[in-house]
Amino acid sequence: MKTEQKNGGFSGLVSRLSRQSVPSDDDSGRVAVAPRTVTAVAAETGYASKTLARFLDLLFARPAAVVLDLGPVIGSNITFLGERVGCKIHVEDLYADIDRHIQHDKLDQLPEFLSGRFSMPDSSVDAVLGWDVFDYLAPGAAAALASQLMRLLRPGGVFLGFFGARASDDPRYTKFVIEDETHLRFRFYPSACKRRWVLQNRDINIMFAGLEICETVLLKSGVREILFRKRILS
Amino acid sequence: MNEEMASIGKSIVINGELSGSEDLTIEGRVDGKIELRDHVLTVGTNGRIKAQVSAKAIVVLGSVTGNLNATEKVDIKESGSVEGDIVAPRVAIADGSHFRGSIDMQKKDGAADKTHFNKPEAKSPKTEKTDKTDSVPVNGEFARV
C-alpha cells in the first residue's frame, strides 16, 4: 500500500501490478508504464510459495545439507540458509555466465561450457535452487544444465525451478529473495539476455527424466513452480 | 587511546606470508597467505588479494581470490568481490557484490541452530491471509487455471 501512496495517479495501475504473484510478462499491465516505475513496484513484490515451503521442509530433514544456488548471490538468502537451516551453500551465478557469453558473442558455446561448469563430484548436492534460469537457456544449453544437475544431486535430493509461460522483450533477470519459510520476494535487475524460451511440460519431463516431480504449483501468471526429487534407487 | 590502524598502501605489493596481531587494512596487492588470528582484516576498495586468509573478521571492499576463514564474521560490501570458499559463523553479503564459491556457516559445536527454524507447516496462518497467492497446487502433474 505504501507504493500506491507514493505513486499517486498511478495508484490503480500500481495496485494491479503489485497484486501480481510472480514476475509476470503480462502485457496489459506494462505497456503504459515507464520501466523504472514497474521496477520500483516489482521491488516491493512478494508472494507465498508453497514449493519453497516444501523445498525447505525436505532440506530441513537432511542434516548439514549442501545447497547449490544457481542465481546471483543474495546476502539474506545466504544468511537464511546458512544460519537458520544450517546448510553449506555453493553459489554459481549462471545468469552472469549467460550474460558473459552473450557479450562475447559465444552463446553457441554455452552448452559445452555448462557441461563442464560444475567441479563438484557426482551425487554431492542435496538441493539446487535453480530459480528461473531455464527460461533464458536455449534447448541445447538447457539440456546440458539439466544433465549436470541430475549428476550433482544425491538420491533423494531436490531441485526447485520456475518455468515461465511466455517470452519477454525486457532485458532483465529476477532476483528471488527468501523472505521466510513460505514467502519469496523478487526484484528485477538489468541483463544482456531476454526471457526467450518457454519450456512445455512435456519438454520439462523429458529433460528431467532422472527426477520425479514431487510438487507443482501453477501460478496465475502461468509460471510453473516445480519441485523435483532425485529417485532413491533401492 | 587513538591507536592508528595498520595499513598497506595501494602501491605496495607483497608476495608471501603476512601475519600480525593488530587490525590491518590492505589497499595494495598481496599474493600468498594472510593470518590475523584475533584481529580484523579489511580489504580496501583498491585492495587485490590472492591468498588464503584467516582472521577474526574479514571485511571486503576490494577483490579477493582465495579462501576466507573467519572465527567471527565475513562481510562482503557492495564494491567487494570474492572468488573462493568462505568458512565463518556469520557471513554478510551486500547486494551488488560479486561472490563465487561456497559458504560454510556451520558452527564447530554442532551446526546451525535449527531450533529457530520454523518448519513450513507452522507458518500457515500468514500463507492463508495473503491475497497475493494466486496458485493452484497440483501434486505430480500440471493443471490449467
Position A172 scores a pLDDT of 87
Instruction: Specify the pairing of strand B6-8 against strand B81-83.
Output: unpaired
- Residues A127-149 pLDDT 10s: 999 999 999 999 999 999 999 99
Position B133 scores a pLDDT of 40
Best of B72, B75, B102 to substitute, by most chain A Cβ atoms within 10 angstroms, is: B102
Position A234 scores a pLDDT of 66
Position A76 scores a pLDDT of 93
pLDDT band for position A83 (50/70/90)? confident
Contact B93 A75 (CB under 8 A): yes
Mean pLDDT score, A184-194: 87
- Residue of chain B minimizing CA distance to A187: B95
Least Cα separation, residue B111 to chain A (angstroms): 6
Contact A84 B112 (CB under 8 A): yes
Position A222 scores a pLDDT of 87
Low-confidence ranges of chain B (pLDDT < 50): 1, 110-117, 119-145
Position B15 scores a pLDDT of 96
Write the residue in A48, A84, A88 that is nearest to B132 by C-beta: A48
What is the CA A210 to chain-centroid distance, rounded?
20
Query: Does A4 score more than 80 pLDDT?
Result: no
The type of residue at A92 is E
**8 Å CB contact between B134 and A222:** no
Percentage of residues of chain A with pLDDT beyond 70: 81
Position A30 scores a pLDDT of 33
Query: Does A109 score more than 50 pLDDT?
Result: yes
* Average predicted confidence (pLDDT) for chain A: 82
Contact A182 B102 (CB under 8 A): no
Position B142 scores a pLDDT of 41
Position A168 scores a pLDDT of 82
Identify the residue with better confidence: A110 or B143: A110
Position B3 scores a pLDDT of 64
Q: What is the value of pTM for the model shown?
A: 0.77
Percentage of residues of chain A with pLDDT beyond 90: 59
Best of B121, B133, B139, B141 to substitute, by most chain A Cβ atoms within 10 angstroms, is: B133
Angle between helices A35-42 and A11-18 (to 10 degrees): 50
Least Cα separation, residue A138 to chain B (angstroms): 22
**8 Å CB contact between B105 and B112:** yes
For domain A46-230, give the fold. Answer: Rossmann fold (3.40.50)
Query: Does A29 score more than 60 pLDDT?
Result: no
Residues of chain A found within 8 Å of residue B109, distances taken between Cβ atoms: none
Mean pLDDT score, A142-170: 93
Most confident of the ranges A107-121, A185-199, A209-223: A107-121
- Map out the domains of chain B as residue ranges: 6-126
Residues A100, A175, B143, A150, Cα dihedral to 10°: 50
pLDDT band for position A232 (50/70/90)? confident
Q: Could you give the C-alpha distances from A211 to A22, A153, A204, B136, B142, in angstroms and in order?
A: 25, 10, 10, 22, 16
Contact B141 A216 (CB under 8 A): yes
Alpha carbon distance A35, A126 (integer Å): 38
Alpha carbon distance B86, A105 (integer Å): 33
Contact A83 B119 (CB under 8 A): no
Least Cα separation, residue B6 to chain A (angstroms): 29
Least Cα separation, residue B43 to chain A (angstroms): 19
Mean pLDDT score, A95-120: 95
Q: Does B115 reach chain A within 8 Å, measured CB to CB?
A: no
Write the residue in B103, B133, B144 that is nearest to A82 by C-beta: B103
Lowest mean pLDDT among A17-26, A133-142, A183-192, A202-211: A17-26
Contact B133 A64 (CB under 8 A): no
Cell of A69: 544456488
Residues of chain B found within 8 Å of residue A79, distances taken between Cβ atoms: 91-92
Least Cα separation, residue A225 to chain B (angstroms): 9
Query: Does A11 score more than 50 pLDDT?
Result: no
ipTM of the complex: 0.74
Alpha carbon distance A134, A143 (integer Å): 9
